[in-house]
Amino acid sequence: MDQQTSPIQVTHATFEQLFEQYWKRMYAFAVKITTEKEDAKEIVQDIFKSLWERREALDIQDAERYLLRSVKLKTMEYIRNKSTRQRHHDVILNTAQSEYEDQQVELKELNGKIRALIESLPKQCKNVFKMSRDEGLTNKEIARLLFISERAVEYHISKALATLRLALNRIN
- Say which CATH number the domain at 129 has: 1.10.10
Q: 22-53: per-residue pLDDT in tens?
A: 999 999 999 998 888 999 999 999 999 988 88
Which residues form the domain of 151? Answer: 120-171
Would residue 109 count as lying in a domain?
no
Would residue 99 count as lying in a domain?
no
Would residue 41 count as lying in a domain?
yes
Contact call for residues 71 and 47 (beta carbons, < 8 A): yes
- Say which CATH number the domain at 36 has: 1.10.1740
List, as one string, the DSSP characters of 95-122.
HHHHHHHHHHHHHHHHHHHHHHHHHTS-
Percent of residues, the chain, with pLDDT higher than 70: 95
Mean pLDDT of 101-113: 87
* Listed range (38-42, 92-96, 131-135) with the worst mean pLDDT: 92-96
Cα torsion 97, 99, 102, 104: sign: negative
What is the model's pLDDT at position 143? 95
Q: Which of 32, 63, 86 is the last residue of a domain?
A: 86
Would residue 33 count as lying in a domain?
yes
Would residue 7 count as lying in a domain?
no
Q: 18 and 79 share a domain?
A: yes
Residue 159 has what DSSP assignment? H
Would residue 93 count as lying in a domain?
no
Distance CA 97, CA 33 (A): 33
Residues contacting residue 34 through CB under 8 Å, at least 6 positions apart = 40, 43, 75, 78, 79
The mean of the pLDDT values for the chain is: 87
Residue 4 has pLDDT above 70, yes or no: no
Q: Which of 35, 66, 86 is the last residue of a domain?
A: 86
Residue 8 has pLDDT above 80, yes or no: no
The total number of structural domains in the chain stands at 2
pTM: 0.47
